[in-house]
Amino acid sequence: MFYVIWILLLLLETALFYFSLKQQNRLLQEKCIAYSAFTLVLLLLFGAKILPYSFRFIPLMLWLTGRLLTNGVLLLKKKKRPFKKVKAGIRYTSAVFTLLLSLVPLLLFPPFEPLEASGSYEVETKKFTYTDQNRMDPFSDEKSPRKVTVDFYYPKTENGKFPLILFSHGAFGFSGSNFFTFQELASHGYVVGSISHTSHAFFTLDTVKTLTLADPDFLQKAVEINGLKDTSREEEIFHITKEWMKLRTEDTHFLLDTILGETRSITPGLPFSLLSSDAIGLFGHSLGGASSAETARERNDVDAVIVLDGTMLGEEVDFIDGHVVLNDTPYPVPLLNVYAEDHYESAMETQGDEYDNFYASAHALDARETVFRGTGHLNFTDLPLFSPILAEKLGIGPADARSAIVTMNEIVLEFFNSYLKNEGTPQIEKEYLDESTSAEN
């Protein structure tokens, strides 16, 4: 669709430029008619839902409106100016360049077929922002209390009690990074809360529409640590990541306590009135998986945890004689580790059984591991669907992105069904996507 729209508008601009040169006329009236017609056709396509409207088309519609208004104003002035080929060429070049810029969102975020939730419940959403009066926000210039925002996805019903699941995004993620997973879980009877770790999230939009971007220093350190090969800085990294984990686990503890408090109020509103405090699960991607696992270790009311391609940094309890010391207390909560192939192979090669996750699983009371062959780190988010180009640059594998997300959602649902709804033993395979990378039907 990007190429069709681009080619049609480029042909239109080129044709108008050609005839204006040939007739030595700016063709203001013809341009107004052409831009109006193209805009009308797009609006009709949007209205008929032949072409799904989204934010991707906003710059394009602004470009068309701008071209229409500019030429319309000049036409209404009725003041004829001598036609100059050089100026006409500059105007044409400018129009084509701005047209290309307006189509960038369509290139970066091409329309795609959304994943349909397979459960029987329709899904509703709500956003809440809570203030932790017992903590100062380390990223706030005013040293104000820390605010944490959570987006809820829950079944559209006023009856029944459902398990609570909290999700924590990765270092470069945001609260909507796994939207289709949240929808899938909620459609099957879960109340899902996706945490936005303010200043760790790529962006946070709270309930009063205040936008907070990720802290630049945090992003810089995260990029540096992810690409670091220098083992001489392991102790420094240990202390830096401990600070990150402390912030995130405290966010999660605070939200869990707040949510459970809401369920105990006299007249809890949605979604709190739907919650069963007897069944709680945590999961997260990357750094969010690490903090989810650590939070589950620190509490006695979490029943299951899933780590999506994250290193369980919370298992590192000390740094002595040039090496991290891992927690030898058995991991107490049913645990599922899901690995991208490159992550798994690298950990096996460089650390083996002493890798944080492998060590925790080996010493856990109940743990499972699975590897998604042909996947990269961001295959466990929705980014490959929303922006294939960005996902390719940032880290995915050759496996079909849609199949990977669908399969991930299936095993996440199966694992939580087992431990939060007592629906039997989860049948998690050791590997997925190892024989085929064909698209999900």
Q: Check residue 113 and give its pLDDT.
A: 87
Please identify which residue in the block is written with the tokens 């104000």: 144
Burial of 164 (0-12, 13-18, 19+ CB in 10 A): buried
Work out the pLDDT band at 231, boundaries 50, 70, 90: low
Q: What is the mean pLDDT of the chain?
A: 90
CA atoms within 13 A on the CB side of 148: 26
Q: Which residues pair with 335 in a beta bridge?
A: 305, 367
Work out the pLDDT band at 146, boundaries 50, 70, 90: very high
Encode pLDDT of 120-143 as tens digits. 999 999 999 999 999 999 998 888
Residue of 330, 324, 332 whose CA lies nearest to 356:
324
Share of the chain above pLDDT 90, in %: 64
Segment 225-245 mean pLDDT? 84
Work out the pLDDT band at 75, boundaries 50, 70, 90: confident
**Are 101 and 6 within 8 A, CB to CB?**
no
Q: Check residue 217 and give its pLDDT.
A: 94
3-state SS, one letter per residue, for the chain: CHHHHHHHHHHHHHHHHHHHHHHCCCCHHHHHHHHHHHHHHHHHHHHCCCCCCCHHHHHHHHHHHHHHHHHHHHHHHCCCCCCCHHHHHHHHHHHHHHHHHHCHHHHHCCCCCCCCCCCCCCEEEEEEEEEEEEEECCCCCCCCEEEEEEEEEEECCCCCCEEEEEEECCCCCCCCCCHHHHHHHHHCCCEEEEEECCCCCCEEECCCCCEEECCHHHHHHHHHHHCCCCHHHHHHHHHHHHHHHHHHHHHHHHHHHHHHHHHCCCCCCCCHHHEEEEEEEEEEECHHHHHHHHHHHHCCCCCEEEEECCCCHHHEEEEECCEEEECCCCCCCCEEEEEEHHHHHHHHHHCHHHCHHHHHHHCCCCEEEEEECCCCHHHHCCHHHHCHHHHHHHCCCCCCHHHHHHHHHHHHHHHHHHHHCCCCCCCCCCEECCCCCCCCC
Encode pLDDT of 349-399 as tens digits. 989 999 999 999 999 999 999 999 999 999 999 999 999 999 999 889 999
Share of the chain above pLDDT 70, in %: 95
Q: Determine the length of the chain.
A: 441
Given a cut of 80, is residue 279 above it in pLDDT? yes
Q: Which two tokens stand for residue 325?
A: 């010391």
Given a cut of 60, is residue 439 above it in pLDDT? no
Given a cut of 90, is residue 13 above it in pLDDT? no
CA atoms within 13 A on the CB side of 157: 16
For residues 184 and 36, which has the higher predicted lDDT (pLDDT)? Answer: 184
Q: Check residue 438 and give its pLDDT.
A: 47
For residues 25 and 280, which has the higher predicted lDDT (pLDDT)? Answer: 280
Encode pLDDT of 147-166 as tens digits. 999 999 999 998 899 999 99
Q: Which residues pair with 336 in a beta bridge?
A: 306, 368
Burial 265-280 (b: 16+ CB within 10 A, else e): eeeeebbbbbbeeebb
Given a cut of 60, is residue 437 above it in pLDDT? no
Work out the pLDDT band at 47, boundaries 50, 70, 90: confident
* Candidate from 206-215, 224-233, 305-314 with smallest mean pLDDT: 224-233
**Are 154 and 191 within 8 A, CB to CB?**
yes
Encode pLDDT of 207-225 as tens digits. 999 999 999 999 999 988 8
In sequence order, which residues have a C-beta less than 8 Å from that of residue 59 and are 6 or more positions away?
101, 102, 103, 104, 105
- Cα gap 336→275, rounded to integer Å: 23
Residue of 223, 247, 281 whose CA lies nearest to 148:
247
Work out the pLDDT band at 441, boundaries 50, 70, 90: very low
Cα 70 to chain centroid, rounded: 38
Q: Check residue 435 and give its pLDDT.
A: 64
Q: Which two tokens stand for residue 273?
A: 């009135």
Work out the pLDDT band at 440, boundaries 50, 70, 90: very low
